[in-house]
A and B are shown apart, each in its own frame.
Chain A
Amino acid sequence: MDLVIIGNGIAGITAARHVRKLDAGARITVISAETDHFYSRTALMYIYMGDMTYTHTKPYEDGFWKKNRIDLLRDYVERVDTDARCLHLRSGGTLRFDKLLLATGSVPRFAGWPGEDARGVQGFYSMQDLDRMEADTAGVQHAVVVGGGLIGVELAEMLHTREIGVTLLVRSDWYLPAALPEEEGRMVNDHIRARGIDLRLKTELAEVLTDDAGRVRAVRTNHGDEVGAQWVGIAIGVAPNIRFLEGSGIETDRGILVDRYMETNVPGVFAAGDCAQHRTPPPERPPLEPLWYAGREQGATAAFGITDRVRPYAPGVFFNSAKFFDLEWQVYGRLQTTLPEHERTLYWQHPTAEKAIRLNYAFAADTSGDGAAVPRLTAVNVMGIRYRHDVCTHWITEGTGIETVLQNLGAANFDPEFTPQHEADFVAQYNRQTGRSLTLKRRRGWRQRLDVLAGS
């Protein structure tokens, strides 16, 4: 089997590694126009900040690919011919395939603002973007970043390390409202502002103003304010990178349409990662999932389809994490930022430190023996505190009762040793609010984790 994978990001590379394990005889070629080797896109910011070099961001040594017989090709695919089953490359050649995986990722979204093509205005996704940012931010005094997502705050932190002033335009009332409830979102607001970032909420970009040389000199917001800036980062989201598929016969909508096995309408042609769009998404998942973790799992799923071991995409309990400057965030389960009628939330915040724990729970339709509805854990959200993936997922999957979770909450703690633990405070607050008298039975620890996972 000749397998060609377009894209050497996490989805494409995970697929390549899994196909190699599942089929020792497959010929695997990975094409990328971006870099010679797989690197971790999530670490781009650290290269700019000087925490790491490009070499540090490569998860495998260069010899890994030869050893595992995965051929790497630096080229750009201009056109996919699904009838002849071959690819037309920019370098002039063609490449035949039996099976094809499209893992081309995405490109930064632009909203069609006047002046957005000016020099010094860019998105942040690829190694080429980093290169351009390095060149265009040299000597810059002030920059504007547009977008209240994870890339927006990354750009702000990056510029901050170079002592470039940052104005951050965010459309909503607080940071990341699609993922964070108001309390956590406002904690992020405060955190960003404390770093000296000029965070402007409920503000959008209206226009980019340029100088005579065609370079950005300022932006105008939707409130009519003008902010002087010699560099503008656009981080309002990404869109699948699929333009080269026009006329290929591969069905697309916003992304490449795939079934639950990550296969497109063309047999033997698969798609995974940012560029893929589920025709029927798994329960509680959106059709497009531009997340590192989803890319990894979709890539692995595609590998099973490619090697004719069909397993549907079933990503399990949702999770995500991020870091806003120095503030870590983890979420497990589907966190409803606006509570549905049958759901409740328990929220505790440290009086002085930037730490918070939130447990959401729902009154399930079924009832326990005495007829009362049993409230079951649905989501865990922590700020400035680390929780265990397996323990939280276990509770959510099992639909563990909220009071059982509370009594064992310490077992979920994953902070470094000696870090003050706050689960007892959380339970005490619950007792105050409800008049109950629960006690915290388990604290942080491996043994405690094992006990919870074993259900004892």
Chain B
Amino acid sequence: MTTQTLDRPRAERTAQAPFPLSADRPSFDQVPTYDPSLSLTGNPAYHPSAGQKVALAAVGLAALACLAGWASGTGFSGLLMAVVVLGFGGGGVAYAWLTYGRGHAGTHNHGIMFSAQQARGHAGWLWGILLTGLYVLVYWFPQYLAGLVAVFDPISNLLGYPEGSRQWVMYGSFYTLAVATMGVRAMLKYRHVRYQRIRTASVMFCQLVFGYSLPYLLVFFGQPELYLHYFWPLDYDGLWPDTFGWMPLAALIFGAAMIFIGTPVLTYFFGKRWYCSWVCGCGGLAETAGDPYRHLSDKSLRAWRIERWMIHGVLAFIVLTTLILWANAQWGVLGPVAEGFKKWYVFFIGLMFAGVIGVGFYPVFGSRVWCRFGCPMAAILGLQQRFFSRFRITTNGSQCISCGNCSTYCEMGIDVRWYAQRGQNIVRASCVGCGVCSAVCPRGVLSLESGPLTARFGTPQNNLIEDLDILDAS
């Protein structure tokens, strides 16, 4: 045995072994990952500049304006709305610009795991509880939000929106403001990836136009309030018999064509992403306002098992509900049973799951809880994507180093690394094609692609048992 004098490893010269063992050796699972206080300065990787602090102050001012409007009960129409929109929007965009827009482009998720707000610290839980509470009030007790609702009276008045349903104007305005502001943030954060810029622009456009401007324009001109980017089963009453009483025939034909023809065709070519991360309003909020929480999704096998039962259960539930409602409309035999199905569906899936849990729990369970566990549209698209689509995430040969960035930042809880490290493509029903796994990969291993249906899964590339030809080369 020879040992080079100058190249000796340090451990050989000191009595200390490289890995000291003792009774109190650290168990790395227990290393705290965030500062559990409410302080914004406890994060060692977070060093806000003066400009960032000013921008945050503007956001804080908007929050105060909301509080003032809520407390006053009248909203000081006009002035407060301007402060809220400019504070949240302007302050938010300025903060995003100062954080991500300047300096060097690239994937910078530094400090997220130390952030009390983003890593389920006290601040994150507090924000989650606040959001959830707001949803509960908007859905069931809007009278307690009268002052906050009144902040958006200028818009409600313009539209001639009736008292009693004006909370939806407030909700829609906040929703759209969040998508717009946080959409700019997402575009700046991922500005080094053109796919992300285009995709984010698409969901922002769809929310701003199809989810906000167009429906209110229709209302303004005395037409029915239609949301053209939702159709059955997401707009669950789109195929229910009572809809046929009031919806324009053209809209009914469009909705039916989209679910029975447009959806399978588009999913065949592009995967479910054409809808979930490019068009959908829920997806739009998840990709923008939800982006800071995308890593909180559960990646365990247990979560995947629950996901498959739950989302397909919801799909079965809405198919059954729709059939029962039609049977009842036709023969009237089921009476109260049919109405019961309808009520339970609207309450549990439409309100509880899509709103309260789906968005309110962003800071706790991540941004796609609804899309992953409860959305019947995602279930249909997922089945099509899994069994009949050209879409896949391609893994680049053997280049994976198992670092885990892809799995960590997958908002749908897919353990992307499990496939990547064995050199296999990812074909999963839940993948919404956001492309962030590809953006955060430090080794250029992942890319979203469409190709022939055959060999979609690819051949495992760095598993010698399943890929013996590597060794047979000699």
Contacts and interface: CB of A to CB of B under 8 A. Distances in A.
Given A49-B110, A128-B19, A301-B464, A54 B31 contact: yes
Contact of A50 (B1, B17, B21, B44): B44
A161 B110 contact: yes
B77 interface: no
A300 B464 contact: yes
B164 interface: no
The secondary-structure label for the interface of chain B is: loop
Nearest to B450: A446
Contacts of A106: 9
B110 A61 contact: no
Nearest to B25: A74
B452 A52 contact: no
Contacts of B462: 293, 296-297
Contacts of A178: none
Interface in A252-268: 252-254
A243 B300 CA distance: 39
Interface in A119-144: 123, 126-128, 131, 138
A316 B464 contact: no
A51 B106 CA distance: 13
Contacts of B11: 107, 241, 243
Contacts of B33: 53
Chain B, interface residues (CB within 8 Å), range: 35 or more
Contact of A52 (B14, B29, B113, B193): B113
B162 to A, nearest CB: 45
B444 A56 contact: no
B384 interface: no
Nearest to B192: A326
A21 B452 CA distance: 31
Contacts of A163: 47
B193 A419 contact: yes
Nearest to A130: B28
A275 B114 CA distance: 35
A316 B408 contact: no
B451 A446 contact: yes
A417 interface: yes
B17 A76 contact: yes
B106 A416 contact: no
B195 A418 contact: yes
Point out which of B7, B10, B106, B109 has the most chain A C-beta atoms below 10 A from its C-beta: B10
A78 to B, nearest CB: 9
Interface stretch (A40-48, A80-88, A398-406, A431-439): A40-48
Interface string B23-40: 000111101010000000
Given A49-B110, A49-B111, A389-B397, A243 B12 contact: yes
A194 B104 CA distance: 9
A10 B403 CA distance: 11
Given A59-B404, A312-B471, A90 B21 contact: yes
Nearest to B470: A316
Contacts of B396: 386, 388-389, 414
B193 A112 contact: no
B448 A126 contact: no
B452 A447 contact: yes
Nearest to B5: A112
Interface stretch (B121-129, B204-212, B435-443): B435-443
A71 B450 CA distance: 41
A76 B451 CA distance: 50
Given A419-B195, A450-B451, A50 B111 contact: yes
Nearest to A393: B397
Contacts of B394: 414, 446
Given A128-B18, A417-B448, A293 B398 contact: yes
27 contacts: A18-B465, A49-B45, A50-B43, A50-B111, A51-B109, A51-B405, A109-B8, A112-B5, A128-B18, A162-B44, A239-B9, A241-B18, A243-B12, A293-B401, A304-B471, A312-B474, A321-B399, A321-B443, A330-B443, A389-B399, A390-B461, A416-B439, A417-B449, A418-B194, A419-B193, A419-B194, A450-B452
A57 B397 contact: no
Interface in B368-399: 394, 396-399
Contact of A76 (B19, B27, B43, B192): B19
A75 interface: yes
B347 interface: no
